[in-house]
Amino acid sequence: MSHTTSKVILFSYTNYPGLITNLERQGVKMSQEDLLRHGSFTFDLEGVSRAASHQIVRHRIASFSQQSQRYVKITRSYGYLKPTGIPEDLKVPVEIHGHKLEVNFEDVMDLTRQAEEGFVAKGIKAEDSRYLRPNAATTNIVMSMSPRQLIHFFNLRCAPDAQWEIRDLAWSMYATVSLVAPTVFGPLPVADESEYVRKRVLLVKDLVEKQLGAFEKTLPGELFHLDLQLYFDLGHPVESFVRRY
Ligand SMILES: Cc1cc2nc3c(=O)[nH]c(=O)nc-3n(C[C@H](O)[C@H](O)[C@H](O)COP(=O)(O)OP(=O)(O)OC[C@H]3O[C@@H](n4cnc5c(N)ncnc54)[C@H](O)[C@@H]3O)c2cc1C
């Protein structure tokens, strides 16, 4: 089964108004720059390709927990993400044991999955059989970062030269943090250099202004769906959610 939708869920974040009030009660006044060093944002990123998760974990100043491939039971229904740039009907010739075949992207995904299951069925450990899994296979990853590190991440990964999948995730993450901490996450520094980023920052600002009222009415503990796709031309579908305190 092809897995074409990724999910970005911001499910834990520092309550900045509360933090600032408490600090001020103790007589501590912080500059904007100081505030960026404090606090934490935790995301659950679901349905992310292994190609993108490799890029995400290159960001060393963060904490990660990634779904284990060793223990997750393989079934014919595990997902993969197909780049939209690869046409549905594109077939390439392959040859195996003298037999010539024409295969498309889905065929290759299906073959590798069948081979992985077959190895497991023949008694090969799941942790070894998974070596057959392609970069398109999806995974889930939990990531926590401070605002300062997130801004660094956004500067690199919201930029037009970042790859479409991680860029879609980065913009979705930026939209969620802009909703819950608009005073902490202003326009991105990289917007000074890029018209593309500047335009999108304005779109996020507009989105946040329009959806703030509905977010504030969301009951504590519930997930609010931030509908970014209405505003953005994303490279693939990403659903964004924020847990309301
Ligand atoms: C468009 C794009 C293309 C890329 N292409 C490639 C590629 O072809 N090949 C490839 O290997 N990578 C590639 N990368 C990944 C890139 O090299 C970085 O690994 C990744 O962006 C993480 O950035 P970072 O090191 O600044 O972030 P983090 O690891 O989160 O670190 C943040 C900052 O903390 C400081 N820091 C962190 N750890 C240390 C340390 N140990 N010592 C000193 N300072 C430290 C640095 O100032 C660093 O900038 C690419 C990234 C982008 C955005």
User: Mind listing the pLDDT tens digit for each residue in 123-141?
Assistant: 999 899 999 999 999 999 9
- Going from N- to C-terminal start, the domains of the chain cover 6-70+137-243, 92-132
Four-way CATH pick for 6-70+137-243: 3.40.190.10, 1.10.540.10, 3.30.70.3180, 1.10.3720.10? 3.30.70.3180
Check whether 164 has a pLDDT greater than 60.
yes
Check whether 12 has a pLDDT greater than 90.
yes
Distance 160 CA to ligand 1 centre (A): 17
With a CB cutoff of 8 Å and minimum separation 6, the contacts of 176 are 8, 10, 43, 226, 240, 241, 242
3-state helix, strand, coil in the chain (%, to 5): 40, 20, 35
- Residues 139 and 143: their CA atoms lie apart, in Å, by 13
DSSP-derived secondary structure for 3-54 = ---EEEEEEEE--HHHHHHHHHHTT----HHHHTTS--EEEEEEEEEHHHHH
| CB 10, CB 218: distance < 8 Å | no
Mean pLDDT, residues 79-93 taken together = 93
Given pLDDT bands bounded at 50, 70 and 90, which one contains residue 76?
very low
Check whether 219 has a pLDDT greater than 90.
yes
Evaluate the CA torsion angle 77, 48, 14, 58 in order and state its sign: positive
Atom 42 (ligand 1): residue with closest C-alpha?
A: 60
Q: Whose CA is closest to 140, among 237, 66, 82?
A: 66
With a CB cutoff of 8 Å and minimum separation 6, the contacts of 112 are 132, 133, 134
Atom 23 (ligand 1): residue with closest C-alpha?
A: 59
Distance 166 CA to ligand 1 centre (A): 14
Best residue among 53, 54, 57, 61 to mutate for probing ligand 1's pocket (most ligand atoms within 8 Å of CB) is 61
pTM (2 d.p.): 0.94
For residue 107, give the amino acid letter: D
- Residues 90 and 96: their CA atoms lie apart, in Å, by 19
- In DSSP terms, 44 is beta-bridged to 9, 142
In this structure, the residues whose C-beta lies within 6 A of any atom of ligand 1 are 58-61, 152, 156-157, 161-162
Atom 24 (ligand 1): residue with closest C-alpha?
A: 59
- Residues 45 and 6: their CA atoms lie apart, in Å, by 7
Mean pLDDT, residues 149-172 taken together = 97
- Residues 175 and 231: their CA atoms lie apart, in Å, by 11
Known catalytic residue at 244: no
pLDDT of the residue at 187? 86
Closest-lying ligand 1 atom to the alpha carbon of residue 157: 53
Atom 53 (ligand 1): residue with closest C-alpha?
A: 156
Atom 30 (ligand 1): residue with closest C-alpha?
A: 59
Distance 152 CA to ligand 1 centre (A): 10
Closest-lying ligand 1 atom to the alpha carbon of residue 59: 30
Closest-lying ligand 1 atom to the alpha carbon of residue 161: 1
| CB 78, CB 113: distance < 8 Å | yes
Mean pLDDT, residues 208-221 taken together = 95
The DSSP 8-state label assigned to residue 110 in this structure reads H
Catalytic option among 50, 130, 157, 243: 157
